[in-house]
Structure 1
Amino acid sequence: MSRNLFCFSLQRSCLLSVYNRLCPKSRLLLSNSNMINYENVISSSHDEVNEISDWKALHRLSTALLKADTVHQKLERILRTVVEFHQTQYGVILFFDQGRDALTVKASVGLVESAVEGLTKVKPGQGCCGLAFAERHRVIIEDFESNDAVAQFRPWAAQHSFRAVYSTPFYDADGDALGVLSVYFDKPHKPTLREKELADICATTIALILDRDRSETELRRERDRRDQILGGMAEGLCIVDHNFNVLEMNDTGVRISKRPFYELSGQSYWALWPEPANSEVGQLYRKAMVERVPVHLENRWEDPTGEIGWYELSVYPIDEGLALFFRDITERKKAEEAVRDSETRYRLLSESLSQLVWRTDSQGVIVQGGESWRNYTGYKGDLQQGWHEAVHPEDREKAREWWQATLVSSEISKFTFRVLRQDGKYRYLETRAVPWKDSNGNIKEWIGSCEDVTTSALHEGELKLANQRKDHFLAVLSHELRNPLSATRMAAQLLGTSPADAARVTQLSEVIQRQVGHMSRLVEDLVDVSRVSQGLVLLDKHAIDLRTIVKNAVEQVTPMIAAKNHLLKMEIPVHECKVYGDRTRLVQVVCNLLSNAARYTPDQGNIRVTLAIEENHYLLTVVDNGIGIDPAAITEIFDFYVQAERSTDRKNGGLGLGLALVKSLVELHGGNVTAMSHGKDLGSTFTITLPQLVTTKLLT
């Protein structure tokens, strides 16, 4: 039965019984379902008119109570009806607050705020309201001024012009007093029997409303608690009736099912999930339903999306049918499978890479892993005494000392040394030893592993080399900047001491210009390195003649070549050699190669520049008969900060950036550069390969 229908039936029954007492002459006007036809009521007496008026008021109250949304609204409507019955303006409903052991105003009509405050926290037994509540019967005060029982409330009554009051208590279903209904008058008043009975009716209605509200609140609380419990369950729950139709499912169940509940509600379980119908799962479900016994199992299941999962199922008989609890255990199954796979993988890994695993007793005597060491190193001797024979001679004694120190320390330890592999190559092995101790801290065994860390060890060496190069470069840079700065500073000082000597001024100015030019080139090289390393080099490419590039570069380095009396020869084709590139950058490339050749070629040496055509490429070669390059250094000659070996007087200068810039700029043009030398004092050859310009490239 719905809440409104319940209230209507309750109020209708109450009003019918009361009205039959109040208006017996009108009893025939009532029926089980028809409204009262007020036009058929014929009465001329004043009492009958009042009785009909009262009934109308009660009927209006019943209708209003159906429309009210909250308990407070209902209390206010009852209170307005009460004061209307008594032809007064003042009424109040007070509830007993157990926590404060006092009556508290819950609804009032006609009372100003100060009047309500005077009634707040009235103790049981105090005043009319407190007496009615404490003594559990109606209390009437016909006149405040003549009744000493409420003497303490006379000032309050006089302040608000109250002369009379009577209070009616109301009770819950167990007979415990809940509060009182009080009506106030502005003149002495003795309530009539009609007024008392009407007040009783309204007080009873208040009790019914409170009891109904308490029941609904408890039902909501129970429902919310149930929903909270079901919603918070990690397990899915599905309730099916005796025909296996789905009645209910919690949020977890809906989420696991991956279908909205409206698609599941009322549907046959076997229609929704036909797979287990004829399986072991279906048989156990039917057994639980027929025999009314719980069952438990694990089941592999494919959901509507095709995903495979594992579920733990528990089925319990209930009055409605069955409660099916199911938990997604896919992750657990995956974890169990992963553990099994891990164990198998470890076993296979140990078998395939057994050379990296070993065990010894507490004293270091090999228990397991000796054969794997033989397979890895090819050593055939006594392992207990000679395992270290496979270690590199430079690391051998250190390895033995490490192992003895580890046995003494009883702590986890590791050490890296070189070991000769059976293929004749030395490899870096990082050996790690871990003690297995008993409950008393005594070592039972040593468990060890050997990991090939050759790649990381070599990389570490490369990092050290790079760091050394960086330090070397900084030293070179400081030297290269210090010399021109010293010369420039000295020239500037001399200019200040002899400003009248024009020839001297000209000479010193040339020195300053030359040294500033040298520093500018150093700075430009550093800027170019920064741009290249950050990928910020932008090329302004056009179709250009490579012969022009060579000629422009030769013009720029001619003073340097002439200063050392070098003989420069050029061999270039008579026809155009078109490439697609940046004129400035390509000139810089050729200038760097020519200046590098001039720098490292002794006075009166020979330098040759050749431009040739080979298939779809141009080959630009710069050959000198200078100091040459160590063949071992050829592979790194184009790295940044790398220079060929030079004399200690550093007369050739440079930062070791030129060739690295050449390589980077040539590669940006789609080409490559190589170096070749037969050794010290046998000269060097640098070759640049650039692609020829094709029509499609020109069009773009």
Structure 2
Amino acid sequence: MSNASWIQMPPEAGLTQVEALAALRTSEERFHAFVTSGTNVVYRMNADWSEMSQLVGHNFIADAPQPTNNWLAEYIYPEDQTRLLATIAEAIRARGVFEMEHRVRRLNGSVGWARSRAVPLLDAQGAIREWIGSAVDVTERRQNEQNLNEAQERYSGLLNSINEGYCVIEMIFDDNDTAVDFTYVEVNPAFEKLTGMSGVLGLRVRELIPDVEQRWLDAYGRVALTGEPVRRIDEVKPINRWFEVCCFRLGGPESRKIAILFNNITAQVETENALHASEVLYRGLFNAIDEGFCIIEMIFDAANRPVDYLILEVNPAFEQQCGLLDATGKRILELLPDHEPYWFEMYGKVALTGEPVRVQVESKAQQRWFETRAFRIGGEGSLKVAVIFNNITERKNVERKLQEQAHALSDLDRRKDEFLAMLSHELRNPLAPMTNALHMLRLQPQKDPVQRQALGIIERQLGQLKHLVGELLEISRITTGRVQLRLERIALSGVLHRAIETAQPLLEERRHVLEVSAPPHPVWLQADPSRLEQVVVNLLTNAAKYTDPGGRIWLSVAQDGQEAVLRVRDTGIGIAAELLPHIFDLFTQADKSLDRSQGGLGIGLCLVQRLVELHGGNVSVTSVLGQGSEFVVLLPVTSLDLKPLLPPQAEVVRPAGKCCRVLVVDDNVDAAQSMGALLAMHGHEVRVVHDGEAALEAVQSFPADVVLLDIGLPGLTGLEVARRIRQLPALKDLVLVALTGYGQESDRERTREAGFDHHLVKPADFDAVLKILEAIPAMTA
């Protein structure tokens, strides 16, 4: 050994220079004896490593008792020489310890791995005199590490399927590029279970673990700075857990984000061999999971088509899940000769492309359904596929039954809607002549008070009946999604005015006091005015019906930010607490008494809710039994910068003394004759027929200006009659008005396509008929 020191003695030791040198000589002698006896290789190098003066190989590498300048080529693996020389140069520059792992040529000619360490011996001036080094054979450890990496690749798919921990962190460095902290950017659901930490997003690790070890920060910092991924097994002492960690940088060189995949391996960390630990972990998972698991090797024919697979390995749950016994080492076609080809195609694609698959698929050969996940094991070229599966046959049977029931239910719902639509349509047919007859009676002088009273009763009850039929039809339209709003910019005050006019007769009949309040400025909405009027009318009539005679009702409108707030409050009977959550359900009524004095079908409030929601709003109710109710409707207001509404067009007024020739076609004799009589009372010339053929004959002989044509005629329908009329050039100016119980947009589209000019829903409003007739002379002129 040299008389010079290979390390500086700290000044606080309190020794003289001579004493320090003597102590160091003794230390060097002991160190030489130690490294000679405790390592595989001992060597000496001159100051610049140009010459090796001695090498004791200990049967790991060849001895070199004589100085040599060719030591690099003789002992160091070629691909590692550049890296080794760079490390030596850095150690010489820093006069520090040289340490690295590199490959060497072993005594038997094979390539081995050595962990080499050399320390400089310094003279009194601090210059390097020589280097003393030792090397340890780490070939076996390196091989084990390689085996461990392969094992990790093999089992990574399985670990992914059982939800290993995952997080993304962003490193924080000081001015010297030393990692001092990191922030949690993203975590997966297994993170909390594996680490015991919750609510970590956006927090720094030092906030969660103040005494986190610096080595974790250094390791992650190197990954962020170098971009080199790291796999490590280490302990986080503050939380007493061991983790197997794989981390890699996300993004380019400037990124400081690290992705970390990890598993809590505390129970396995004491094992002596990392490969054995991985196998233990794998086997534990392999045997413990309830899912069936197997590793298969795909078999292809000469055309590279998957035709079979060999079962290499199965877990204990395999037999229970799929029912195949003693499957290991057998081909699937030995066990299931009629196994379907689509299984081979699916697994073959996984093996060839490396793309994992997750499907629910039926094995008809086994009469079972499986939820299956498959992924390739190994790199490109591997034909091994890992399969995890669950027998979901029972679940599929339940789903199938539920689907069938949802369909005994969907069909019933459809038939219910069809029935409601048909019922409302059929009810409209007798309403039409009754309405016409009422108009006829109103045109006659009524001197007898009993007749006037009876006429009033008929008018009110007929109006109620028309309202009920209308509600039936409306709920059918809404529940089937056939309602189309006709949106326009409107002031809410106009809707309130018309709604109050409509509800006024009922309010007066029950002697209610109605108080109305509204802001001085208009509240503008983008809405369907008729539909909103329907909402307000239903709320007012509902309040009137369930408030004792002489009660009070309040109707108010206000604007709150971007919402219009409409309130209807009453002093009525209120709503029971158990009924409140269901008050907007179809066919729900507050009054369930046998006398049914208030009438109604329990449809009105359901219509209110559906129509309000179609306008992008919502409706709520508060009530105390016996203390009245309050309904609150919230609707979005429209912006003020919309273009103003166009002024309404002036109505075309029929010149005095003019009349029209009207052909009425309806198979309902009462409806046709009553409509004809009403028209005649207003000075129009009328002819009435009751089927399509008679209508086609009548238009040839009767020079009609307009035809009121029922759609549901026997034989030729009204649609077909209209098409034939439009084929006659002489009748091109004839105005056709459709009378039908159906008023959907699709129904109106069909009548337009057939050639109708107007579409009226039964029972037709006679005033609407008169308006059409008033316009006829001006149009035909």
TM-score by length of 1: 0.32
Which of the two has higher C-alpha Rg? 1
Q: Which protein has the bigger helix share?
A: 1
